[in-house]
Chains A and B, each alone.
With several copies, the nearest count.
Chain A
Amino acid sequence: MSLAAHPVTGTGRLRRVLVANRGEIALRVLRACRELDLETVIVHSEADADSLPVRLADRAVCIGPARSNQSYLNAEFIVSAAQIHHADAIHPGYGFLSENADFARLCEMEKIVFVGPRADVISQMGDKVRARQLAAEAGVPTTPGSDGKLRDAAEAAQLAAKIGYPVLLKAAAGGGGRGMRVVREAGELACQFADAAREAKAAFGDDAIYVEKFLSNIRHIEIQVLSDGATVLHLGERDCSIQRRNQKLLEETPSPVLDAAVRARMCDAAVKLCRHVGYTSAGTIEFILDPARGEFYFMEMNTRIQVEHPVTEMVSGIDLVKAQLEIAGGKPLAIAQDDIRFDGHAIECRINAEDSARGFAPCPGEISHYHAPGGPGIRVDSHMFSGYRIPPYYDSLLAKVVAWGRDRGEAIARMHRALNEMEIRGVTTTIPFHLDLLRHEAFLAGEVHTRFVEEQLLGATA
């Protein structure tokens, strides 16, 4: 496709962007495109035909039925829509094909700009073992443990003695807690190893076990990075320790527990890893922080925009999605690390169509009435409207409410005020959960860890 006839805009060679997503992130990308004067094409499933992003895009193309694998996950249909409608670039949002290296590669082959890092970088970082290796190469701390499976309990004992108890035995083939054992002292190891191997064999047909340092009372801290390939910037951290079953519920920046020295080391590690792998676009390095020891370990890298990116935007003033588009258009970053200032505190609450009183059961249905909160320091990213029918096929995120304050106290007070004003009628949402959370002493004191919600806030019923 020739772009010779098209005027060059502020985003370099981009003129028309296809949005390959739905819901609030599709709206987020459309807004960024509008502000950059880029034309928009959105692809959607039949179930999203009446959605707000479809109505706000310049063009909308139905690519398939409700089921994702026949629409949002079908790379060929999306690339085809981009070609037919002469889109220069595809923004994948988060989820769906956003971290799919094959999709990025298909875009590259078809000479459509994929708004994200190169396919080979996605591929490397998507392989957990390879990513851990790359982190180690870049000098980024990884959780102490065996690099692969262990021969037997004796080898496990040797390693455990080295990294220190408690340790975690894990099924190499598994996940989801099956074959997992916490070993608190050397005497327990042989017995636990045998149990874990037996359970692993039963669950996954493979008794291979590896060992890792067991960390409790940990926090989930991630560093936002932004790179044009030459300049690699960090935009500080986000504390995402408020989770339920590894699903983030509330994120904030700065972290209430990170001291300046540890923050500097984490940001430095994130930048080093990006440089090491030649990362471009916006990305996030997720770390485990052990606040008691002030130590952190590389967990994984998300090679896309994150749900919680707005908190970083609120304190830095940098529009991450516009930056992604500008980088994708070949425009070098106009800012240096020293230009980035962090002001105040920002918190995001994810408002889901879920009933927190019934195990966070999803509640699709029709939003009979929606009224967004407003006023000072409040940002709302939502694809809801009065009359919107939530399709039962996709995730339950309805809105992200973000509150900014000069300090954490002001941000919390604003969030509380805003959630009290917000009205969503017709479906049950997680607003009551957030109102409880925002008043909880441990949260107010910043003394939470990744199992706080399940163990303390929701208690035994979680």
Chain B
Amino acid sequence: MSNTAFSYQDLLQIVDLIKTSTQFNEFHLKVGDIELDIRRGEPAARPAPAVAAPDATAPTPATPVAVSPPAAIAEPHRSVPLAYPAGSVLVKSPMVGSFYRAPEPGAHPFVEVGARVTAQSIVGIVEVMKLMNSIPAGQAGVVTHLLVEDGEPVQYGQVLVVIEAENA
């Protein structure tokens, strides 16, 4: 009833608009029953719905937490919001799996913090069901953060590596 005038697609478009703009720091939109609040810099945590269980909400050691940088407002994970400098590019895992920093056990890691990479440089491997998926940097620049330890589980969309883009 209430939201015939406002679709998920509209929302995506608006988020895209804000993402590509540098002019807005806060955005408030109300259409009928729908309220949209977008804020740059510190993504507000969604109102947590309904969990009183301390053991259910406390992060468990092996649970990966995705980092939501300012440029990725719509990141839908349980977020520990981290801010990266402007010009940072986030290399995310394209699938759930185990992350490896080196081509094989004992070998040198693909990259370290400070390493200069091209868009084609491999920054790690995500293994799913014994299938090894090489992860390219996708952007030339310098590695500023390595966020996942060797052998750790990663989830879809999780940020693996942060790169300070060249010419950014």
Contacts and interface: CB of A to CB of B under 8 A. Distances in A.
B49 A62 contact: no
Given A79-B129, A371-B50, A60 B96 contact: no
A50 B1 contact: no
Contacts of A126: none
Chain B interface size range: 35 or more
Contacts of A57: 56
B49 A420 contact: no
B3 A80 contact: no
Interface string A57-75: 1111111110000010000
B33 A423 contact: no
B1 A52 contact: no
B95 A58 contact: no
Given A62-B157, A420-B56, A76 B49 contact: no
B129 A76 contact: yes
Contacts, number: 123
Given A56-B56, A84-B98, A426-B2, A62 B155 contact: yes
Chain A interface size range: 35 or more
A419 B54 CA distance: 11
Say what secondary structure dominates the interface of chain A: mixed
Contact of A385 (B1, B8, B50, B76): B50
A49 B78 contact: yes
Interface string A265-305: 00000000000000000000000000000000000000000
A171 interface: no
A411 B62 CA distance: 31
Nearest to A358: B1
Contact of A52 (B47, B49, B63, B157): B49
A386 interface: yes
Given A50-B46, A55-B48, A368-B33, A65 B56 contact: no
A8 interface: no
Nearest to B63: A59
A276 B152 CA distance: 46
B52 A63 contact: no
Contacts of A388: 49
A420 B53 contact: yes
A250 to B, nearest CB: 18
Say what secondary structure dominates the interface of chain B: loop
A81 B52 contact: no
Contacts of A49: 76-78
A43 interface: yes
A78 to B, nearest CB: 8
Interface in B21-79: 33-34, 46-53, 55-57, 60, 62-64, 66, 76-78
Given A60-B63, A76-B129, A81 B56 contact: no
B110 interface: no
A378 B153 CA distance: 36
A366 B131 CA distance: 39
A427 B2 CA distance: 7
B45 to A, nearest CB: 10
B60 to A, nearest CB: 5
Given A55-B50, A79-B129, A385-B50, A43 B96 contact: yes
A387 B158 CA distance: 25
Contacts of A426: 2, 33
A423 B57 CA distance: 13
A423 B51 contact: yes
User: Which A-B residue pairs are the 6 nearest by beta carbons?
Assistant: A49-B76, A371-B50, A420-B53, A385-B49, A84-B153, A62-B155
Given A56-B56, A65-B156, 18 more contacts: A43-B96, A46-B76, A57-B56, A58-B60, A60-B63, A62-B76, A64-B96, A76-B129, A84-B153, A85-B62, A365-B2, A366-B3, A387-B46, A391-B8, A421-B50, A421-B51, A421-B52, A421-B53
Interface of A: 43, 46-47, 49-50, 52, 54-65, 71, 76-77, 79-81, 83-85, 355, 363-366, 368-369, 371, 385-388, 391-392, 419-424, 426-428, 431
10 contacts: A55-B49, A55-B56, A56-B51, A62-B155, A64-B96, A76-B128, A76-B129, A80-B96, A84-B98, A420-B52
